[in-house]
Amino acid sequence: MSTQIPKQTEKADETAAETETDAPSKGDERRAEKRRRADERRRQRETEEAERAAADENTVELRVFRYDPDVEGKQEPRFDTFHVPFTKGMTVLDALMYARDSYDSSLTFRHSCRQAVCGSDAMFVNGGQKLACKTQIDELEEPIRVEPLPHAEVTKDLVVDMEHFYDQMEAVEPYFQTNEYPDGELEEQRQTRENREKIKMSTRCIWCSACMSSCNIAAGDNEYLGPAAINKAYRFAMDEREGEDVKQKRLEIIEQEHGVWRCQTQFSCTEVCPKDIPLTEHIQELKREAVKNNLKFW
């Protein structure tokens, strides 16, 4: 059973005791009482779940990180345990949705597409950055621990603040730029198959931020562009449709103080990317590209 329960109760008692000594206000008492009742309810729910789990062998145990700055009793981060009936093909996201819809509707996480294209549900599952919807339960060791992405500010439960990640993505001028378009009205720009192949993997990024969360350098240096943004820059720098002058500009962007040189080839970004983008390879190629480009003028 969940290890947090006794601790939580202790806490509630403590606060109650405290308030007694220094002339409790009615509000404090009420709040303490409320908290106690909430704990009670949770304990009861968890016992029920555990019983159900015992009755039915086929359940999975999930330990989920909980935190909410707004709700008393959740301000102190803790883990809640859920027992979810296992069905074949179940993903971590399915399990979380089940837990939310059946046990605790305040369990909060981002999700939308359920098919690894929206990039909403990157989380820290059993110690690794994973897309919850793309992670099969039966490939994980139990109990399954689900936490929000490390190195990011937690908004609530499994939701982290993505603003910083978006800023980095948008810092590399992530839009196509060129000075020449073909003449004809319905003329497309030509691009060789090889060139499209070269940028193909880099265009698959779904902005999930798993890579950024896994990179120790990004954790230490908030200004580091990070693997995803550099990959985005790669996507354009290597696109032959953009032309030479634009490429020069692109290289200047990625060469800035907190750009490619920060990368220490840790490879963890490449390991966790749910879209299998060879991030380290792209970063390294840009470093070489930058050096080559600069050597020309030496």
Partner 1 sequence: MSQSYNRGLIEDFSRWREFEAGMWAWIFHKFTGWVLIGYLFTHIAVLSTAIPASGAETAVLQAGNDVYTQTIVSLEGLLLVRILEVGLLAVAVFHMLNGARLLLVDLGVGLESQDKSFYASLILTGAITVASVPTFIAGAF
Partner 2 sequence: MYEHDVVVVGAGGAGLRAAIAAQEEGADVAIVSKLHPVRSHTGAAEGGINAALRDADSWEDHAYDTMKGSDYLGDAPAVEALCKESPEEVIQLEHWGMPFSREEDGRVSQRPFGGLSFPRTTYAGAETGHQMLHTMYEQVVKRGITVYDEWHVMDLVVTDEDDPADRTCHGVVAYDIQRGEVDGFRASGGVILATGGMGQVFDHTTNAVANTGDGVAMAYRAGVPMEDMEFIQFHPTTLPSTGVLISEGVRGEGGILYNENGERFMFEHGYANNDGELASRDVVSRAELTEVNEGRGIEDEYVHLDMRHLGEERILDRLENILHLAEDFEGADGLTEPMPVKPGQHYAMGGIETNEHGETAIAGLYAAGECACVSVHGGNRLGGNALPELIVFGKRAGHHAAGKEMGEAEIPTGKRGEWEPAEYEFEVDVGAVGDRGPAAADGGAVAADAEGLMEAEIERARERVEDLLTRKGRNHAEIRSAVQETMTANVNVFREEEGLKQSLSDLREAREAYTEVAVSDPSRTFNTDLIHTMETRNVLDIAEALAMGALARREFRGAHWRKERQERDDENWLKHTLVSWNDGEPELWYKPAILEGEAKTYEPKVRSY
Partner 3 sequence: MAQRYSSFDKGGRMWLLQRVTAAFLLVVLAFHFFLLHFVHHADEVSFLMSAGRMETLSYYSLMVLFLLTATFHGVNGVYNALVNQGLTGTKRTVIKWTLVAASVVLVLQGIRTANAWAGIPLY
Using CB under 8 A, list all residues that contact partner 1: 65, 67, 77, 79, 126-128, 145, 147, 150-154, 216, 218-220, 222, 264-268, 270-271, 278, 280-281, 284-285, 287-288
Q: Does 264 bind ligand HEM (CB under 6 A)?
A: yes
Quote the least distance from Cβ 237 to ligand HEM, whole Å: 22
User: What tokens does 30 get?
Assistant: 């009420």
Report what 263 binds from ligand SF4, partner 1, ligand F3S, none; CB cut-off 5-8 Å by kind.
ligand F3S
> Phi and psi for 246 in degrees, rounded to 5?
-65, -35
- Residues with Cβ within 8 Å of 108's Cβ and at least 6 positions away in sequence, in order, are 68, 156, 157, 158, 159
Number of residues interacting with ligand HEM: please give it, by CB under 6 A.
2
Quote the least distance from Cβ 176 to ligand F3S, whole Å: 24
User: What tokens does 230 get?
Assistant: 């550099």
Q: Are 210 and 116 in contact, with CB atoms under 8 Å apart?
A: no
Least Cα distance to 109 among 88, 141, 76, 131 occurs for: 131
Q: Specify the residue, 175 or 298, whose C-beta has the smaller distance to partner 3.
A: 298
- Residues with Cβ within 8 Å of 32's Cβ and at least 6 positions away in sequence, in order, are 12, 15, 16, 19
Q: Which residues within the stretch 182-241 sit at the binding site for partner 3 (CB under 8 A)?
A: 217, 220-222
DSSP conformation class of 202: G
What is the per-residue binding string for ligand F3S in 209-228, x denoting contact by CB under 6 A? -----xx-x---------x-
- How far is it, in rounded angstroms, from Cα 26 to Cα 92? 43
In this chain, which of 131, 144, 218, 238 binds ligand FES, going by CB under 6 A? 131
Residues at the site binding ligand HEM, with contacts judged by CB under 6 A? 264-265
Residues at the site binding ligand FES, with contacts judged by CB under 6 A? 111-114, 116-121, 131, 133
